[in-house]
Amino acid sequence: MKQFGKILKFELKYFFRNKIFVGITIFLVLLIAIVMFFPRIMALTGREQSSEGVANLPIMLVKADDPSQADMVQEIFAASFTDYNVQIASEEIDTIKEEISSQKAECAFVMTGPTSYTYYVNNLSLYDANTEIANTVLQQIYQMNAMINSGMTAEQAGEVMKIQITSEVESLGKDQTENFFYTYIMIFALYMVILLYGQMVATNVATEKSSRAMELLITSANPTSMMFGKVIASCIAGLIQIAAVFGSAVVFYQINESFWGDNFIIESIFNIPPEILIYMLIFFVLGFLIYAFMFGAVGSTASRLEDINTSVMPITILFIAGFFIVVTSMSSGDVDGTFIKIFSYVPFFSPMAMFTRIAMSTVPVYEIAISIAILVASTVGIGALSAKIYRVGVLLYGTPPKMSAIIKAIRKA
C-alpha cells in the first residue's frame, strides 16, 4: 500500500511535468475561452457593423412587371430580409443575372405572377432559406389581398393574419431536445479521455520495459501496486484535465452569460442536473479504469514502443464499436432500443450505453444498480487479471506474445 502511494505520486508528477499534458490542457482551456467569449466579441464588433448602415449589406434585387407589385414586394421583403439591402431592379433579366455573377448583387427575386417567382443566386448555399421566407411572405400577401377583396377591412385582415398559436410541451420523462447536447459532449469527452489516456498508460508501461527500467522496478515494487498506481494516477490526471476544461467552461459562461441570450443548446449544457453529473463521474471512473487496465496489460506485453499500436488495436476497436453504437442510438433518438439496452449491461460498453440511457431516457434505478454492479465487478476482475498479465508480461521480451501464450504463462507462473 505504501509502495502504491509512492508510485501514484511519481506517476502523477510525470503527468504534471509532461509538457504535452500541460500543453493540451492549456490549449483546451483557451479554446473553451474563445468559444465562451465569442458572443461578447461578436457583440462588440457587431455594434460597429450596424453603425455602418444598410449600405454595407449584400444587395437583393426585386423585379416585377407590375410597378405597384414591385413597390409592395420591396417594402415587405425589406422588412422580412433584414440582412439584405433590398432594391427594385428595372433592368432586363440578363443584366440582373450578370450583376449576380459579377457579385454586385447577391441574389434576385423576379416575380412572374402574384404567387410565382424565379430566384437567382450565384452559389446556392445548403442553408439558403431565402425562398422559404419569400414563399411565406408572398402567401401572406396573397391571403391579405384575398381577404380585403372579399370585403374585410385591412385591419380585420391584419388581425386574422397576426393570429399566433400558443402551445406548451410537458415531457414527463426526459426531454431529448434538452439533454442531447450535454449527453453527446459527455460521451465524446469519455471517448477522447479513455482512448488518449489508455494509450498513454500502454506507452508508459512499454517505455519502462523498453528502457529496461522494468528490470529494476520488478525487483523494487509489487507488480499489482505498479499497475494500479499507474492506472489510478492516469485516471486522476484525466479527471483533473476534464475538471479544468469543464470548470473553465462554466466560469467563462458565467462571465458571458448575458451575451449568450436564450441559446437553448448552451443553456441545456450548463444546466445539467446534478444526478447526471454524479452518474457521469461513476461511469467515467469505472469505464476509464476497465480500459486503462487492459491498455496497461497490453503495454506490458510489448517489448518496443513500435509494437504498441498493433497490440492495442483490439481494445481500441472494441471501444470505438461501442462508441458508434451509442452515438447511432443517440442520433436516432431511440436510446431504449434492444441493442443499446443489452449493451448497457456489458461492462466494456455500459459506461457509455447506460450513461446515455440515464441521461436521455428514464431508466429504473434497479437497472442502473445492476449495470453499475456488473461494471464494478468486471473492473475489479479485469484489474486483477491485468496485474497478473503485467507480472508475466514485463519479463517477456521479443515479439509480443499471443494471448493464449500469456494465459498459459499466468497459469504456470
Partner 1 sequence: MLLELKNIEKSFGENKVLSGVSFKAEGGKAFGLLGRNGAGKTTSIRILMNVFPANEGAVLIDGKPINYNKVSFGYLPEERGLYPKKIIIDQLIYFAELKGMKHKDAIKAIDYWLDRLDMTEYRNKRLDTLSKGNQQKIQLITALAHNPDIVILDEPFSGLDPVNAMLLKDVVKEQITQGKIVLFSSHQMSYIEEFCDSIAILNGGKVALCGNLHEIKRDYPRDRLVVRTENPAAISAAFGDNCTAIGNGALLVRLSSPNDKKAVMTQIIQDYDVDEVKVFEPSLNDIFVEYAGDNAKED
By the criterion CB under 8 A, which residues form the site for partner 1? 2-3, 6-7, 10, 13-14, 208, 211-221, 391, 395, 408-409, 412-413
- What is the end-to-end Cα distance of the chain in Å, rounded? 23
Residue type, 372: I
347 contacts 290 by C-beta, under 8 angstroms: yes
Q: How far is the CB of 289 from partner 1 (least distance, A)?
A: 23
Q: How far is the CB of 295 from partner 1 (least distance, A)?
A: 20
Q: How far is the CB of 393 from partner 1 (least distance, A)?
A: 13
- Closest to partner 1 by CB, 98 vs 215, is 215
Report the b/e string of 134-162 with b at 16+ CB within 10 A.
beebbeebeebeebeeeeeeeeebeeeee
Residue 29 φ/ψ, nearest 5 degrees: -65, -40
- Closest to partner 1 by CB, 229 vs 296, is 229
Residue 60 φ/ψ, nearest 5 degrees: -115, 125
Q: How far is the CB of 332 from partner 1 (least distance, A)?
A: 47
Q: Which of 71, 93, 241 is nearest to 141 (CA)?
A: 71
- Closest to partner 1 by CB, 299 vs 347, is 299
Between vectors from CA 135 to CA 131 and to CA 140, what angle results, nearest 5°?
150
C-alpha cell at 16: 504534471
- Closest to partner 1 by CB, 3 vs 85, is 3
- Closest to partner 1 by CB, 221 vs 385, is 221
Q: Distance between alpha carbon 14 and the CA centroid of its chain, in Å? A: 29
Distance from C-alpha of 322 to C-alpha of 51, rounded to nearest angstrom:
52
DSSP-derived pairing of the beta strands 107-113 and 59-63? parallel
Q: How far is the CB of 211 from partner 1 (least distance, A)?
A: 5
Q: How far is the CB of 237 from partner 1 (least distance, A)?
A: 16
- Closest to partner 1 by CB, 106 vs 208, is 208
